[in-house]
Amino acid sequence: MAFAFHGRAINKIGVIGSGQIGPDIALYFSKVFSRQGVKIVVVDISEEALAKGKAKLHKKIDKGRETGAFSEDWAAAMKEAVTFASDYDLVNDADFIVEAATEDKELKGRIFADLEGRCGPETIFASNSSHLEPERIFEGISKKDRCLVIHYFFPAERNPLVEIVPARETSTEITSWLMDLYESIGKVPIQVGSRYGYAIDPVFEGVFLAAALLAQEGVADTKEIDAVATKALGLTVGPFTAMNLTGGNPITNVGLDHYTSRINAWYHSPEILKKAVAEGRKWEVPGRGEKVEVDPAKATRITEALQGAFFGICSEIVEAGISSVDDMNMAVELGLDMRAPFGFMNKLGTAEALRLVEAYHAKYPDFPVPQLLKDKGASNEPFVIRSIMRTDREGVAVLKIRRPKVLNALNQEVFDEIRETFDALNEDPSIEAVVLTGFGVKAFVSGADVKFLAKIETPEQAEATSLDSQDAINRVEACKKPVVCAYNGLAFGGGNELAMGCHFRIARSDLKVLAAQPEPNLGIIPGAGGTQRLPRLIGIDQAQELLRTGRPVSATTAKELGLVQELVDGDLVALRERAVELAKALAAGTMKAHKTPQEPMTEVPESLPELDLGHLSKAVDRILCETILEGARLTLAEGLKLEAKAFGEVCKLKDFRIGVENFLTNGPRSRADFVHA
């Protein structure tokens, strides 16, 4: 039994090194692959390290079993899938090897030289280096096209981010395969350029350096700096606490001194860090729940220094071509749990961001002011940050909505980007068709961002919000090129409404939960076209029950209902390839589109049947039923206007406030106590 993915099979994975991160990488692989029969072998020359690594892995699996994250059978399979051993012969037949040994070029080189003599020519070699360029790690390897860096982030089994760092000689096919593989197994990969430290560690270590310099210069103590940093940069824990948690002092001490010659002279290991490493000492940081009071003037000085360093570091990485604005904005927030840097600069104003960086440069002349930020800040022009990734394939534009932190949820910026993207595609002569999908395996689009609902204060504002979201989806529906929706995961609320605006819909066949209109749970009705498009696509009888109860349907049921036209077996790559094929067929006229009918429906009933609504609001249901029936008797365009007006009416209800506040306070699984008024 093996895991087959896009032309390659994985029977066995090797992890070299049972230190701090190796067991966590093995744990993630066991979570993903154990039920496919894939074997994971962790190899280390130290029996003590192997014993500790095995105990650590088993402890985390046991904890997951106790919390319900893993079933008994799954937990047992995960443990059985992983072998800890000192015998390198056990990885001779591995298909994929991740080395997670000490950050030492010579050691890594010896490991891979040995592996090259053991393993077949098709084995993929990856180093979980945090800093070293792949060209240096693999310089002694003869077959370099299968070698690259895959950098995990702490903790490796839970942190979704991975940096994929190909060397100059790395096969583009292997790089693309790994990007697809990691997306398919639940990680968020970004491809970055080969430079010492790559894209994300210079941010983590650079912010720490800025904090350490403040402490070294006596501006504040480490506890005060940590306390201010959490607010200044949106961190869950401050830079000194993070360094304690990751055990990062030694590697950061080395890394900062290498950055001096490989990035710029501002980077260096400060004396305060060298002393901490020499003494084996952790930083003094706030205790759990401890409130640290900081003088306002001191807090402002700390804030401006940290933000100036943060903005300058991130801008330099993009300017150097190591990463993009889009990737950095997402990856820093996701991997380091900090505010998304370019979105943060846009919110402050790029002129203000430039002022902070220039002020930091004035204090530390070796700290560069990137031209990228100078150009934006001079006119206070915001950075363009995209959440829709476009790849053109043989005349087909493949659009991927990528907001993994919120399961690709729609917000105002994404609606605006949909408009802009489809307007451009309409005028692009190189494009004959479009595929619209989402990032990852969990969600196509999980819905619209509920936070914007809390800001609605009047029916007029609610109606305008509904009309605006409808307008974006209308642009998709009105596209002159055929648009295929590829449901890669669940589509709730606005996500399913977006899918219904497409001209043809396909889905992964294994999705037990595909689509739902859960708005009644929030005390609202669909406002992006759901009350009008769903009845026209699957019939009033079937649509009204789904709209009124919020009940989700599987991919199989969606196909039976007519919401989905085709189910696709296989992985994400197979889904997207089939979507491209169908898009071409639609463009060529050899396939028939399944657009939402525009005309009024016939045989519309006078009323809808009574339903057991459980805890759901009867007041909301009354408006919803009226909207479904009245809209069905109108053209789609007229029905959408009616829906927007009804959405405004719903927002007058007490149940609207109750539902939204309950969601924001208690989460989507909590039932609101509606008063039916």
Catalytic residues: 497, 519
Of all helices (H) and strands (E), which one includes residue 620?
helix 618-632
d(CA 97, CA 31): 17
Smallest Cα–Cα separation from 135: which of 192, 194, 179? Answer: 194
What's at 1, amino acid-wise? Answer: M
Structural tokens at position 514? 């595909």
The alpha-carbon radius of gyration of the chain (Å, integer) is: 27
Structural tokens at position 617? 């609001």
DSSP-derived secondary structure for 557-616: HHHHHTS-SEEE-S-HHHHHHHHHHHHHHHHHTSS---PPP-SPPSS--SS------TTS
Q: Give the single-character DSSP code of 539.
A: -
Long-range contacts of residues 621-630, Cβ cutoff 8 Å, at least 24 apart? 621/520, 621/548, 623/525, 623/649, 623/650, 624/520, 624/525, 624/531, 624/547, 624/548, 625/544, 625/548, 627/525, 627/531, 628/531, 628/535, 628/540, 628/543, 628/544, 628/547, 629/540, 629/604, 629/605
Say whether 19 sits in a helix, a strand or coil: coil
Residues in the chain: 677
- Neighbour tally for 513: CB within 10 Å: 14
Q: Is 627 exposed, middle or buried (0-12, 13-18, 19+ CB in 10 A)?
A: buried
E strand residue ranges, 254-358? none
